[in-house]
Structure formats: structure tokens, C-alpha cells
Amino acid sequence: MKKKNTGKFVLDFAMAVTFILLFNKMVFGGLLFHETAGLAIGGAFILHMLLNGKWIKTVTAKLFDRKLPWKTRLGYLLNVLLLLSMVFVIVSGLIVSHVLLPNWNVGNEQWFKMTHISVSFAALLLVGIHVGVHWHWVMNVWKKMIPASKNKWILHVAAKIAVMALLLYGVYEINETGFLSRAASVTNVVSAESVQGMGERPDFSQAAGEKPDFSQMAAGERPKGMEGRESGMSANPLSVLAAYGSILSVFVIVVYYIGRLWFKKKKTRSKAAPSLS
């Protein structure tokens, strides 16, 4: 069991790092890495689900059982949403591919480009929530992998400082990249496709009658009409990891501490409740 958990931890960590690197198309030379790594994540995600197959099967069978903890239900829902978002990101990525499948023309490529970007940002948010919900498991596996230190208080202080630094830098990057608006824009592009399906021309930008210019995306820039700073962002892997890794960390930290507060209040209420004698 210990080896299996360590393997799952390493796989999940590798998936997270690779996924973050995909937020700049020019990392490691450009589209070849971007598209190949995207497919690799798909395979890794399938392996991740197979490794957690027993849990998925058990929870699915008890999904409508009222005794099933809300945290388990939330974890299940997050897994379903992550599965759907990852499948869409990979399929839409193949549809707009310029390297692996350059001649695969399916439907409205402009719409798929828009949605591919928006769903990717929404997926990163979901990953952050997912990790935050399961942070206790992450820490338990980490403690078993790393030998215990005698100076625990130093590690405790260092962890607190790291959390504060990640929060501050992450919030800064969320603002600079327009992360939340980009993640939320998935609802706009989906509704735009619905409008187009009724014979009307979708409006993809804030300026009336204009569509975002996707030609800039090849250089790692954001389409015109979207808020936030991404043009000029370094394609250095460490810079990309720092920017989007800190954004991911914000959601992990917020979800984890919300969970702690909720359980603390629940514990206090249970202690305060009068006991039957």
C-alpha cells in the first residue's frame, strides 16, 4: 500500500507540473511539446483513475446513500468534472492541432480554440480544489516519503512563511493573468456556440463584432479582447511553473483552510450538544 500511494503521489505530481507547463505554448520549443505532453497527460489521467478504481467503484455504488460523507461526494463530483474537462481539453486540442493532426478539420475551429483555452483554465481551478480537498492524504504520503526532522518547529515556521508567500504571489498572478475571468469565460463560449447553432453569429470579444486574434497564441500571447497579462511572459519553464503553480496553490490553500474551519466548527458543535443520559 505504501509503494502504491508513493506511486500515485509521484504520478499526480508529474501530471500537475506537466499541465502547468502547457499554459505557455512556447515552453520547451513550442507546439510539439505542447501537443505531445497534452496527450501524455491524457494517458496519465487514465492511469490515475485506474489506480483509484476501487474507490471510484465503491463510491459510485453508494452515491445515493445518505450516510455517504459530503467530502466523499465532493471528491467524486470533482473527479467527474475533471474527467469531463480533461477529455474536452485533449479532444479540442487535437482538433486545433498544428503538429500531430494538422489536417484534422472538425466543425468550428475558432470555437474549439476559444473553448480549449477557457476549459483549460477552469480545469486548473478544479485541480486546485481537488488537491485542497485531499491535502491531508498528500501530507501523509509526503511524511512517509521524507524522514522525520528533529527541528519540527523550524519546518513549521518555514511552512507558514511558504504558505503566505504562495498566497501573495498567487493572488498577484491571478490578477495579472486575468485567471478568474478566463476560467469563467467558458460559459460565454459555450453560450456563443448555442447562439451560432441557431443561425446567429457569436460575439467572442467585448468589442462588438470582433473576434479574438488567435495568431498571437503561437507566441505564447493572449488573444486580443481578453483581460490580463500574458503577452511577453517568458517561455522559461521555471517562470511558467512559478506563475501558474502559485495560482494553483492559492486554490489548494483556500480550500484546505475552509475545510479545516468547517470541521473545527463541526467538532465544537458536537461537543457543545447536550448528551442523552
Decide which of 213 and 129 is more confident. Answer: 129
Q: What is the domain partition of the chain in residue ranges?
A: 2-270
pLDDT of 70: 84
- What is the rounded average pLDDT of the residues 182-192? 75
Residue 120 burial (CB count, 10 A): 22
Tell me, letter by letter, the H, E, C secondary structure of 247-269: HHHHHHHHHHHHHHHHHHHHHHH
**Helix or strand holding residue 85 (H, E):** helix 70-95
The pLDDT tens digits for 234-274 are 789 999 999 999 999 999 999 999 988 888 887 777 766 65
Instruction: State the pTM of this model.
Output: 0.79
Q: Which long-range contacts (CB under 8 A, 24 or more apart) does 254-257 make?
A: 254/132, 255/128, 255/129, 255/131, 255/132, 255/133, 255/135, 256/132, 256/135
The pLDDT tens digits for 33-86 are 999 999 999 999 999 999 989 999 999 999 888 889 888 888 899 999 999 999
